[in-house]
Amino acid sequence: MSDTKTGRMLLSHNFDLQDNNFPQLSREEFAQVFIDGFQDDKNIACSLIENPHWMVEIIFPKDEFSADRIGQFCANILEQKRKSQKPDNVKLPDILILAGKKTTPPLNDSPTSLQPGKWGVDVVETASADSFLTALNWNARVEQKPIDSIFKIEIKGK
């Protein structure tokens, strides 16, 4: 596939939970959640990457999947993982997928750096999505950005 037909998304993990109900995932465990989650779709490649910030690379055909659809898959995959670890009588964490398309030059020449036109996604696990987004000042941060360069997916814990 040529670059214009291939989407690329890099994931980082923001674990914003203070309780001990859910274990914080190591880089390898975090990547494995998505590697396992995407294993049945042969058109989506998912792998652990070595980068100080980014942990997971997802490559997908843009003619089959939009970036926000891949983001929704990521949210659902992480939610399923956490459901499998959920103690009785404990609320699942809220999950946020906060995505932005890179519009500036890469920070360095590393192949694992986020490149212009590709998606950087912060996968957030938090006790309160609303509080997290308020503290981040999400609305003000995204209000001037083109609508096709950002997306947010939210799954409230139950």
Spans of all domains in the chain:
3-155
For residue 150, give the 3-state DSSP assignment: strand
pLDDT digits (tens, 9 = 90+) for 104-156: 888 888 889 999 999 999 999 999 999 999 999 999 988 888 888 999 999 99
For residue 82, give the 3-state DSSP assignment: helix
Task: Measure the CA–CA gap between 72 and 127, rounded to whole angstroms.
Answer: 19
* Residue 3, pLDDT score: 62
Q: How far apart are the first and last CA of the chain?
A: 40
pTM: 0.93
pLDDT of residue 2 exceeding 70: no
Task: Measure the CA–CA gap between 107 and 141, rounded to whole angstroms.
Answer: 20
Task: Measure the CA–CA gap between 155 and 136, rounded to whole angstroms.
Answer: 17
* Residue 1, pLDDT score: 38
pLDDT of residue 28 exceeding 50: yes
Q: Check: CB of residue 6 under 8 Å from CB of residue 59.
A: yes
Task: Measure the CA–CA gap between 122 and 108, rounded to whole angstroms.
Answer: 20
